[in-house]
Structure formats: structure tokens, C-alpha cells
Chain A
Amino acid sequence: MESSAWAAWSVALPLAAAAVAIGGWRAGRVAAYLTAIIAPVLAFGTLRAVQEAGPLRHPLGGWGAPLGIELHVDGLSALMLAATAVVGAATTLYAGAYFNRTTGRWFWLVWLLLWTSLNGVFVSDDVFNLYVMLELLGLSAVALVALAATRDATVAAMRYFLVSMAGSLLFLLGIALLYARYGTLSLTLLGLVAEPDAASLLALSVMTLGMMAKTAIFPLHAWLPPAHASAPTPASAVLSGLVVKASFYVLLRLWLQVFGVSGGGFEAALLVLGALGAGAVLWGSVLALRQRTIKLLIAYSTVAQLGYLFILFPLIAVAGPWAETAWQGGVYQVVSHACAKASMFLAAGSMVKAVGADRLPALAGIGHRLPISFTAFGIGGLSLVGMPPSGGFIAKWLLLSAALGSGNWIWALVLVLGSLLAAGYVFLVLRHAFEWSPEATRPTHPVPRRMEAAALLLALVALGLGFVAAPPLDLLGPLPGAP
């Protein structure tokens, strides 16, 4: 295969599978399983290709920019594709046992469309393409929540839909402004010509606001917990692990690649983004600590963990020689959180199925009643806290050393406080797991092995990311737009 075609295949594969999935439950499941097997192979092929040849460009149908649609895969895209493939594959395995013919009639179609749009976001090199993929992503994400078919889920899905729509419209407005000003939609070309004039800054602002709403960054986070918690478990895993990261990815592209903010001049705006991130870390954690059901607790922890990503922005601006360390830490947080959080949601789903209730006290003694799922939850949780060895630890180490190295104590304190609060809410679950109460001896409903294995697999990836940090970070390359 010509090396640049990797990008096209990574979108074509789930799209083709989605087409097959229209055929119904059985066809959809086979198509999804095949995607789950092939997508990781494609993703790692892409990683290797980027590693060997540097960033890949692929003109669809031979028409390059500015006329045709161009796909672009650099280190960041390749890592996002890989994370999507791994989390997607494990979730597919899980979903195959979680749903049945009735409950999962539409799941495969919607899920494969979502997978298509995720990969589409990560390989797009022009903003309109991004818009289309984000729109598809938003709609399929909302549909996944609605699949739960409970009253809570329907209400949450409706709110999610409105936020997602508003976000997309703001993004579209920004595109119009940029196109009027520069006459191009290509991210690469915009990166060469964009200047911080009024029209461009307005475009950046509305697009950022839109993406912030979709990423559910504090204080725009209220829609996320009910949606992620009430969705069917496999949907929760990909929503929290991947979907919110896609809009963050778009933010990275906009701020770093198009406007080159790491070169200076945007300090105040970046500081505001960082302050929102700090707010998310602290407020999201406090809310997570107050939850009494496991899925809501995990969902609020997503709000908190997304905050770390936004702390990346001020560190890039003020960390000087440490900016690159911050950049690596931020991206590593995206990838490790994807695996850890998805594994926690999947494991939580198994535990809830086993005990037939989602209240935390109902999980008494879950440690020995469902050891594999509990192990997965524990490893995922410890990665979230930033306990070594895990991907979360590496991410936190990098972010913390950037903050301390550049003398930005306030961000370092937020990071440390976030870790402690995370330990607190993970402990809320662990505490019950080792409890020995009457509830602990109740029989459990059987949980299919595949569901337990899928969660453990992702947890082990989160753990492994603590040992093999150098290759992915090499691949990521330097901070875009650094002076």
C-alpha cells in the first residue's frame, strides 16, 4: 500500500462496515468485529509509516489542496487514530456481549458511523471537512446516548444534541469568517497565512467556544455527566474516552497549527483557557466526590480529567523551554485517559450488571465477586490518579515538570490537588470493593467473559503506557509552531 493511503483506509474501513451494518444485528456485528480486528492493524501501520516517512499527505482521488480534499496524518493524528483503534476494538468486543438482537439493533450502525467520523476528524486537513466529520460525530454520539431508551437517557441525549448543534454552528460561523478572510479552508495553508487581525480572532473565538461546548470544559460541562452516565455502557466508554477528545483535538489544531500561539502573543487568552481547565479539575473532582452511583462518578471524573488538557495551553505560552514537555504531557494525557477511562466505564458496566444496581454501596465486596473487572477498574483508576506505573503517571510527570521547571507554581498546585481529589473519588469505589457486608455475599448475575476481558485489556494498555512512553512521544514530534 502506498504509505499515504493509510489515512484514507482508516476512514473507509469503518464506513464500509457501517454500510454493512444497515443489514441488521448479525451483519453489523460481523462487520464491527472485522473492523475491530483490522483497525488496530491499520492504525499501527499508520504509526509506522509516520515514524519512517514523517507526516503523510493524501490527496483524495488525486486532487490536492486547494482544489480537492487532502488528508493529513502527522504524529498527533497517528496517535489519535491508534487510541481510537484500541479503545474502539475493546469496546466492540464488549458490546458484542453487552447487547442482544433487540437492544443492539441499531448500535452497530451508529457506532461504526461514530468510528468513521472520529477517524475522519483526525485525518482531515481542511476545516470544512472537519465540520462535516464533527457534525456526523455529534449526531452519532447523541444517537448512542439515546439508544439506552430510558427517560433519563432521552432527556440527556436531547441536551447533548442542543449543545452539540450549537457548537457545530459556531464552528461553521468561524469557517465562514476564515474563508472570507483568506479564501482557503486548508489547515496547512491557513497555518501559513493566518494573522491575528480582528476577523481571524473573531473566527478563532467562536470556533473555540463551539469546541469548548463539545469538549464539555468547565463551565460548559453540565450536559456531559448525565449523557455519559445514562448511555449504554459501551457508548459511555467511547464518549468519555474518545468523543470529547476529538473536539479538543480540533482546538489543538486551531490554536497551535493555524494560529501558532506557541510563538507568543496570545498569553492572556491561553491563561483564560488554563483557568477554565483548573476550574474543571477542581470543580469536576468535587462533584465526582459527591456522586452516589458509579457511572455518574466516572462521568464527573471525565469533566475533571479534561481540565488537565486545558492546563496545557498556558503552559505552552509561559513554560519557555519546557513548553515541549507540556505539549508531550498534554497529548499523553489524552491517550492514557482514553484507555483508562474507557476501561473504567466498561468495568463499571460489568460490575453494575453483576450486582444489578449502580449505587456505590451495592458494590460491596465486588473485589472478590468480580476480580477481573475490579482489577481493570482499579488499574484504570490509578492511572487517572497518576499513580505509577501508568500512562497517567507519565502524563502528570511531564505536565508537572513543565509547570515546576518554568516556575509556574500555581499550575503545579492545581495538578497536585487534582491528583489528590482523583484519589479521593477512585477510593469511593475501592472502599466498597473490599468491604465485607451482608450485600457482599449476595449471588451475582453472570457477566460474560468477553466483557471482563475487554475492560482488562484497556486497563493493561493504560498500564503499559507507563513503560513505553518514549516511542509515542518521539512520534508526536516537536510542538507545532514553536519558535
Chain B
Amino acid sequence: MLLALRGMDALPIPILLSSLIPGLIIAFLREESVRTRRVLNLGGAGVKLALVGVMLWGVAEGERYEWRLSILPGLEISLVGDSLALLFITLSAVLWLVTTVYAIGYLEGSPNRNRFFSFFSLCVTATVGIAFAGDLFTFIIFYEALTWATYPLVVHRGSEAATRAGRIYLIYTVVGGTVLLFGIVWLYALTGTVAFVDGGALAHVPPEQYPALTGIFLVLLAGVGVKAALVPLHGWLPTAMVAPAPVSALLHAVAVVKAGAFGIVRILYSVFGIELSWTLGMAYVVIGAAAVTILYGSLRALYQDDLKRRLAFSTVSQVSYIALGTAMSGPLGAAGGLVHLVHQGLMKITLFFCAGNISETHGISRVSEMAGIGRRMPWTMAAFSIGALGMIGLPPIAGFISKWYLGVGAIEAGLPWIIGLLIASSLLNAAYFLPILKTAWLDPHPDASSGEGEDVIGIREAGPLLLLPTLATAALALGAGVFAEAEISPLRWVWMVVDRVFGLVQP
């Protein structure tokens, strides 16, 4: 049976359906059907993970999955399961399962869970569709679907702040999506193709069309740049953190920002091709935008007292590593950028889970209120520390691997100033993460001095449904770094992508 599945070209379809169908059913359940909803959620996530496992196995052995549906002459929905798609899909599938468990614990007893889990599943379906997209036409279908599937999650609480955040989110993403569509149609009208081709689809375009191609590149970049939170298009992201913690976790680690970053990778490598991107000077534009974003995000993070808001600005900064690395054009830099897609996801989701644990258990949402929290929630804060230190780039956590290859890649690409950028960024990371760790672990709990006794400041951890996912992702973030050279690690997979999809020779 597994072998039969492995050889199935349409395997992307059941992978999409494994979250779409539960999502649609849940929408029409009764609010009280807690058990049915759980079975559907976890069953869907489990099935998806299993199917993705089969596809990983197939792709590792050289299979390529392709499914096409013709919509119009020259336009088709094409789903392609190759190594690059799977990098993103595996991340989504794993983190979806973990986040579902977390969300079940987090939302226990709160209203509108059907709506939440329904759109949660649709959101993951759209993300996986973005990863599977074999051309820009398919890409924008899922890209826009993601916009609208996420909106109800952002406004889930229904409060005034949530409605406002939702409005800002929609204004940014709808305008971004429309700009992207404009660019895609322009490209289609000019060249007649919107396909993703390994090594670039536009190599054949004659040089007299280069000015138009430059325009198209900028329009496309502006379109995906909104979701990738490139400065100055990042404004929606810090506002959207009013969403419930599992939504923020998914938004920052997998769904929305990664969809944008993945779009940048596709535009650079599968549409224009890295050589043409350099010829047009556009790779430099991406690097420049990423560099500005990395510094600006970190600087803003320094001044946020709200924990989730600080994490959000940290995302703005960290996601741009992906664009930075892939635009550098060498295999080492590309590997550093791509592997950060996974590594940043693992670390950031851990951090957001921790923020959720802290606010759910103790009602604390500000860094300044976190004094002594390490002693009350040792497990949560241990996980938080792994995530934070990893973000700074401390070995052997995953973030170190990303930064290492980005650094070596910068030298390889002849852009030594990027080393300076990476160092500056790491210092800034340390400047906004280390004070949190100090406050949490070293500062005395405010109640301790009032002498109210041990039980007040004793251990009070989050419930198991919140804590276990947090520990799991922290362990993954640590493992991805420690075992980076093992047979199955994100880094190993990324080498394969760099080799196969980017056509860059493995060093």
C-alpha cells in the first residue's frame, strides 16, 4: 500500500485534502461536538504527516510528483511535489500537528471553536498548496486563499483590537495580493509563461525585454514582500499578534510570513533564475531589502515591552534571512537561507508557544512583568531559552547552522559586508532576547520579597496540552542543530534542494 502511494503522481491531492476535508466538516459541526472535532483535527494532521512521510521517501529516491488540471489553454493548476516543495510542506505538516494539540489545549471552553479549527485547517491547506504550486497561477490561487483563510483567525477574539488588526492585515495582504496578481498577469502577457522551471523559466527571453522584466520583478517582489514582511511592508505583522497564541505561532512560523518568503525563493530561482536575477540587478535589490529589514526589525524589537510584539518584530527580522541567503546565489548561502525556513519555524513557534503558556497560566504578557517566571515555569522557560539562544545563533541550536552557512555563503558570493550585517543582527538579537532571559531566570519574583511563602511562588506550569507541544518544538530546534549532519536533518534535505532545484553544485 505504501509503495502504491509512493508511486502515485496525484499524491499532492490527498495531502491537500487531508486538511481541507476536516476543515469543511468541522465548519458544520455543532459547537459541543468536542470529540468529533478532536478526532477530525488530529486525524487529519496525522494522515497528512503520514502521507508527507511517504512523499519524502519517494522524493529522496528521485521521484517527482506532478498533477495538472487545465483551466484555460496555457493556464493550469499544477501541483508539483519536489524537494523544495517538501521542505516547506514537511515543516507545515509537523508544526500543524503540534499546533493543533496546542490549540485544543489553549482554546478549551472558549466560544467559536468550530470556526477556529475550520479556518485553521483551511489555512494549512492553503499553505501546503503554496508549497506545491508548480507555477505562478497556482501559487496565487493558494496565496490569496491563505489571505482570506487567515483573516477569521486573526479576528478570532472579536474584540475591537482584533477587528482593527484584522482590518490592517486585510488591507496589507489584499493590496499585496492584487499587486502580485498584476505582476503575474503582466509576466504572462509578456512572455506567455508563468511556469516554475528549475534554474529559471525566463532564460530564453531576449535582452530587449529586460526593462519590462525588471519592472515585473519589482512588482512581484512588492506583492510577496507584504506577506514576507519586508520593510516597509511589514506593518500588519506586529499588529496581528492580538490573535490567539496558536494563530500567532502558526502565522510566524509556517503560514503567512513563510508563504511570502517562499514566494521570494520561487521568484528568484524558479521564475527568473538566479543568473537572470543578478543580470537584472534584482538579486541585489532583494539582498538590500532583506538587509534593511533584518536591522530594522531587530532595532524595533529592542523597544517592545509586550512579549508577543517583541517576538513579532523579531520575526520581521529573521524571516528576511531566507531572502538574504537565497539571493546570494552561491550554494552555501542558498543552503543557509533555505534551512532557515525550517529552523526559524521551529524556534519561533517555540517562542510563541511559550508566550502563550505564560499569558494563559499567569496572565503575563509584558517582559517587565516576567521577573522570576523561570522558577515558576521552569519547563516553559527552558524551551523559551532554547528558542531565544537559537535565534541569537548560539551553537549547537538550529539558528547557529543557518547563520554559519549564511556567513560562509557571503564570503563565497564576494559580499563580505554581509558578515558585518550578520554580526550586527546577532548582537541585536542578543540585546533583545538576553534581557528577557535575565529577567525570567535571575530577577526575583515580585511576590518573593513580600514574604508570602513558598507556595505563592512555587512551580505553576502550563497544562500538558500546552507544555508538551512547546517542549517538542524546542527539542526539534535543538535537534536540528545538534544532528545537522545526520542522514535525516533539515540541512541534509536542503543540500538536496540546492543540488536538484537550484542547479547549484554541492560543495
Which A residues are within 8 Å of any B CB, using their own CB? Answer: 322, 365, 367-368, 371-372, 375, 382, 385-389, 393-394, 397-398, 400-401, 404-405, 412, 416, 419-420, 423, 427, 430-431, 434-437, 440, 466-470, 473
Is B148 within 8 A of A387, CB to CB?
yes
What residues of chain A lie closer than 8 Å to B167, measured between beta carbons?
Answer: 427, 431
CB-CB under 8 A for A431 and B71, given A388-B145, A404-B185: no
Can you list the 6 inter-chain pairs with the closest CB atoms, starting with the nearest?
A436-B158, A405-B189, A388-B141, A404-B189, A400-B185, A434-B155
A-B contact number at CB 8 A = 88
What residues of chain B lie closer than 8 Å to A388, measured between beta carbons?
Answer: 140-141, 144-145
Which of B174-182, B324-332, B463-471 forms contacts with chain A?
B174-182
Question: Whole-angstrom distance between the alpha carbons of A419 and B144 in the complex?
Answer: 13
* Residue from the set B170, B181, B186 with the largest chain A CB neighbour count within 10 Å: B181
Question: Whole-angstrom distance between the alpha carbons of A102 and B124 in the complex?
Answer: 49
Select from chain B the residue with minimum beta-carbon distance to A322: B189
Contact with A along B133-159 (1 / 0, CB 8 A): 000000011001100100110011111
* Cβ distance A390 to chain B, nearest Cβ, rounded Å: 10
Q: Show 8 A/B contacts (Cβ-Cβ < 8 Å), sorted by A.
A: A375-B27, A387-B148, A400-B182, A401-B185, A404-B190, A420-B178, A434-B156, A468-B71
Besides A389-B145, A435-B163, 12 other CB < 8 A contacts? A365-B158, A368-B115, A387-B144, A398-B72, A400-B185, A401-B188, A404-B186, A416-B178, A419-B178, A431-B167, A437-B158, A470-B73
Question: Whole-angstrom distance between the alpha carbons of A398 and B71 in the complex?
Answer: 12
* Cβ distance A139 to chain B, nearest Cβ, rounded Å: 39
Is A467 within 8 A of B69, CB to CB?
yes
Select from chain B the residue with minimum beta-carbon distance to A367: B115
Question: Whole-angstrom distance between the alpha carbons of A469 and B75 in the complex?
Answer: 10
Question: Whole-angstrom distance between the alpha carbons of A468 and B148 in the complex?
Answer: 22
Is A427 within 8 A of B170, CB to CB?
yes
Select from chain B the residue with minimum beta-carbon distance to A430: B151
What residues of chain B lie closer than 8 Å to A365, measured between beta carbons?
Answer: 158
CB-CB under 8 A for A394 and B166, given A400-B182, A430-B151: no
Select from chain B the residue with minimum beta-carbon distance to A432: B163
Q: Which of B435-482 contact A (CB under 8 A)?
A: none
Question: Given A375, A400, A434, which contacts B166 in the complex, CB threshold below 8 Å?
Answer: A434
Cβ-based interface call for B28 (8 A): yes
What residues of chain B lie closer than 8 Å to A322, measured between beta carbons?
Answer: 189
* Cβ distance B182 to chain A, nearest Cβ, rounded Å: 6
Is A470 within 8 A of B181, CB to CB?
no
Question: Whole-angstrom distance between the alpha carbons of A430 and B147 in the complex?
Answer: 14
Cβ-based interface call for B359 (8 A): no
Cβ-based interface call for B506 (8 A): no
Is B28 within 8 A of A371, CB to CB?
yes
Question: Given B140, B166, B185, which contacts A431 in the complex, CB threshold below 8 Å?
Answer: B166
Is B70 within 8 A of A470, CB to CB?
yes
Cβ-based interface call for B361 (8 A): no
Contact with A along B242-280 (1 / 0, CB 8 A): 000000000000000000000000000000000000000
Select from chain A the residue with minimum beta-carbon distance to B192: A405
Question: Whole-angstrom distance between the alpha carbons of A387 and B72 in the complex?
Answer: 17
Question: Whole-angstrom distance between the alpha carbons of A322 and B145 in the complex?
Answer: 28
* Cβ distance B468 to chain A, nearest Cβ, rounded Å: 30
Question: Whole-angstrom distance between the alpha carbons of A394 and B70 in the complex?
Answer: 13
Question: Whole-angstrom distance between the alpha carbons of A267 and B145 in the complex?
Answer: 39
Is A389 within 8 A of B141, CB to CB?
yes
* Residue from the set A397, A434, A435 with the largest chain B CB neighbour count within 10 Å: A434
Question: Whole-angstrom distance between the alpha carbons of A371 and B25 in the complex?
Answer: 13
* Cβ distance A362 to chain B, nearest Cβ, rounded Å: 16
Is B72 within 8 A of A412, CB to CB?
no
CB-CB under 8 A for A436 and B157, given A387-B144, A470-B72: yes
* Cβ distance B298 to chain A, nearest Cβ, rounded Å: 32
Question: Whole-angstrom distance between the alpha carbons of A386 and B182 in the complex?
Answer: 12
Q: Size range of the interface on B?
A: 35 or more
Q: Which of B1-53 contact A (CB under 8 A)?
A: 27-28
What residues of chain B lie closer than 8 Å to A398, measured between beta carbons?
Answer: 72
Question: Given B72, B112, B141, B188, which contacts A368 in the complex, CB threshold below 8 Å?
Answer: B112
Question: Given A371, A400, A435, which contacts B158 in the complex, CB threshold below 8 Å?
Answer: A435
* Cβ distance A422 to chain B, nearest Cβ, rounded Å: 10
Select from chain A the residue with minimum beta-carbon distance to B31: A368
Is B152 within 8 A of A473, CB to CB?
no
What residues of chain A lie closer than 8 Å to B178, measured between beta carbons?
Answer: 416, 419-420, 423
What residues of chain A lie closer than 8 Å to B151, measured between beta carbons?
Answer: 430, 434
Is A420 within 8 A of B182, CB to CB?
no
What residues of chain A lie closer than 8 Å to B73, measured between beta carbons?
Answer: 470
What residues of chain A lie closer than 8 Å to B157, measured between beta carbons?
Answer: 436
Is B152 within 8 A of A470, CB to CB?
no
Q: Which of B330-385 contact A (CB under 8 A)?
A: none
Question: Given B27, B71, B182, which contacts A416 in the complex, CB threshold below 8 Å?
Answer: B182
Q: Which of B175-206 contact A (CB under 8 A)?
A: 175, 178, 181-182, 185-186, 188-190
Is B185 within 8 A of A397, CB to CB?
yes
Question: Whole-angstrom distance between the alpha carbons of A401 and B185 in the complex?
Answer: 6
Question: Whole-angstrom distance between the alpha carbons of A389 and B137 in the complex?
Answer: 10
What residues of chain A lie closer than 8 Å to B148, measured between beta carbons?
Answer: 382, 387
Contact with A along B90-119 (1 / 0, CB 8 A): 000000000000000000000110110000
Question: Whole-angstrom distance between the alpha carbons of A404 and B167 in the complex?
Answer: 30
Question: Whole-angstrom distance between the alpha carbons of A398 and B189 in the complex?
Answer: 10
Question: Whole-angstrom distance between the alpha carbons of A469 and B72 in the complex?
Answer: 6
What residues of chain B lie closer than 8 Å to A440, measured between beta carbons?
Answer: 158
What residues of chain B lie closer than 8 Å to A368, measured between beta carbons?
Answer: 112, 114-115
* Residue from the set A322, A394, A427 with the largest chain B CB neighbour count within 10 Å: A427
Select from chain A the residue with minimum beta-carbon distance to B153: A434
What residues of chain A lie closer than 8 Å to B170, measured between beta carbons?
Answer: 423, 427
CB-CB under 8 A for A469 and B188, given A382-B148, A434-B166: no
Question: Given B28, B71, B111, B186, which contacts A470 in the complex, CB threshold below 8 Å?
Answer: B71
Is B158 within 8 A of A469, CB to CB?
no
Is A401 within 8 A of B71, CB to CB?
no
Question: Given B111, B174, B185, B188, which contacts A420 in the complex, CB threshold below 8 Å?
Answer: B174
What residues of chain B lie closer than 8 Å to A372, measured between beta carbons?
Answer: 28
Select from chain B the residue with minimum beta-carbon distance to A375: B27
* Cβ distance B307 to chain A, nearest Cβ, rounded Å: 24
* Cβ distance A475 to chain B, nearest Cβ, rounded Å: 13
Question: Whole-angstrom distance between the alpha carbons of A322 and B190 in the complex?
Answer: 12
* Cβ distance B23 to chain A, nearest Cβ, rounded Å: 12
What residues of chain B lie closer than 8 Å to A367, measured between beta carbons?
Answer: 115, 152
Select from chain A the residue with minimum beta-carbon distance to B112: A368
Question: Whole-angstrom distance between the alpha carbons of A430 and B150 in the complex?
Answer: 13
Question: Given A405, A430, A434, A469, which contacts B71 in the complex, CB threshold below 8 Å?
Answer: A469
What residues of chain B lie closer than 8 Å to A437, measured between beta carbons?
Answer: 158
What residues of chain A lie closer than 8 Å to B185, measured between beta carbons?
Answer: 397, 400-401, 404, 412
Is B152 within 8 A of A371, CB to CB?
no
Is B141 within 8 A of A434, CB to CB?
no
Question: Whole-angstrom distance between the alpha carbons of A436 and B115 in the complex?
Answer: 13
Question: Whole-angstrom distance between the alpha carbons of A141 and B202 in the complex?
Answer: 53
Is B69 within 8 A of A431, CB to CB?
no
Question: Whole-angstrom distance between the alpha carbons of A338 and B482 in the complex?
Answer: 59
What residues of chain B lie closer than 8 Å to A436, measured between beta carbons?
Answer: 111, 157-159
* Cβ distance A117 to chain B, nearest Cβ, rounded Å: 33
Question: Whole-angstrom distance between the alpha carbons of A440 and B155 in the complex?
Answer: 15
